[in-house]
Amino acid sequence: MAKKGKKGKKACLPKKKCCVSKDKCRRCPLLALKRGTLPTGYTVKKRKLVKLPDAA
């Protein structure tokens, strides 16, 4: 059995909710919004990651 390594980094979604009481981690939705790395179709409202409704 082969070991699983971190060679192929896969883009992971930000966490569902911001952890306000802890130090901000790399998956924080607020930091992703600030950096511009939030996936398309998502936004942050009230420190929670929400999916945008389709604009059709």
So where are the chain's domains?
14-51
Residue 45 in 3-state DSSP? strand
Please say whether the beta carbons of 14 and 38 come within 8 A: yes
Return the top range by mean pLDDT from 6-15, 18-27, 30-39. Answer: 30-39
pLDDT band (50, 70, 90) for residue 55: low
Residue 23: predicted pLDDT: 64
Six token digits for residue 43:
């936004």
| pTM for the model | 0.62
